[in-house]
Amino acid sequence: MRQASAPDAAAPCEGAPDPHGALLLAYANGDARAARDLTLALAPRALSQAQRMLADRAEAEDVVQEALMRLWRIAPDWRQGEARVTTWLYRVVANLCLDRLRRRGRAAPLDAVPEPADDAPGAAEGLLEAARHRALAEALAAIPERQAHAVALRHLEGLGNPEIAAAMDIGVEAVESLTARGKRALAAILAERRAELGWTDE
């Protein structure tokens, strides 16, 4: 996995100064309040991202804890103005999630994931949604990592291409290419599971 060190991405930072960068600087100088403010500001969005990618709450919490630990560790080396903290975090969370998805994929092949049993009325639709979400996570693990990374940031997190380019340390054109190829690859994988995922009417 590519490691995100302090602002090595040297992201082209556009727009206003990064408020999280200022908080991280305060944290690095021993400001306990900044630790709390950063945690409250960053954890919810990181947790949402991880849950979308992993379709698993417990694993998502593990990823967020690990990602934030990495942030605290690189805080003294953070160079404000080079990368946004949120962009850095999107990248680290995505990397950690893809690592887990790949490990999970090796442990349990795609068609070996058991469906949970639930006979409660109205549960069928929820089960189908959950199954589709898991299938998406599994498909992300099955395509090339950089494509998965780009698709996840573009289509699950809704980031713009420039921000994805900054997070992945590549050019905007490369982002477009990776995203397009990633989506085709995902569609091809999911098409094989069409019946299982209730897309028989497609």
Region near other proteins per CB under 8 A, out of 6-14, 80-88, 94-102, 177-185: 177-185
Question: Which residue has tokens 């962009």?
Answer: 87
136: CB partners within 8 A, 6+ apart: 55, 186, 190
CA distance between the termini of the chain? 36
Q: Which residues touch 4 (CB under 8 Å, ≥6 apart)?
A: 70, 88, 91, 92, 95
Per CB under 8 A, 64 contacts other proteins: yes
Minimum CB separation of residue 191 from other proteins in Å reads 4
What residues numbered 143-162 form the site for other proteins, per CB under 8 A? Answer: 143-144, 146-147, 151, 155-158
Nearer to other proteins, 11 or 54 (CB): 54
Question: From the CB of 202, what's the least distance to other proteins, in Å?
Answer: 5
**Spatial separation of the C-alpha atoms in residues 33 and 27, rounded to whole Å:** 8
The token pair that represents 3 in the structure block: 């490691």
CA distances from 109 to 106, 115, 139, 171 (A): 6, 14, 11, 34
Alpha-carbon separation of residue 160 from 112, 140, 167, 192, 202 (angstroms) = 35, 19, 11, 30, 29
Residues 6+ apart with CB under 8 A from 37: 23
128 scored as a contact of other proteins (CB under 8 A): no
24 binds other proteins (CB under 8 A): no
Which residue in the set 4, 9, 11, 47 belongs to the binding site for other proteins (CB under 8 A)? Answer: 47
Decide: is 25 part of the binding site for other proteins (CB under 8 A): no
Q: Per-residue contact track with other proteins, 80 to 119, x per CB under 8 A? A: ----------------------------------------
- Contacts to other proteins by CB under 8 A: 27-30, 32, 35-36, 38-40, 43-44, 47-48, 51-52, 57, 60-61, 64-65, 68-69, 72-73, 75-76, 129, 132-133, 136, 142-144, 146-147, 151, 155-158, 170, 174, 177-178, 181-191, 194, 197, 199, 202
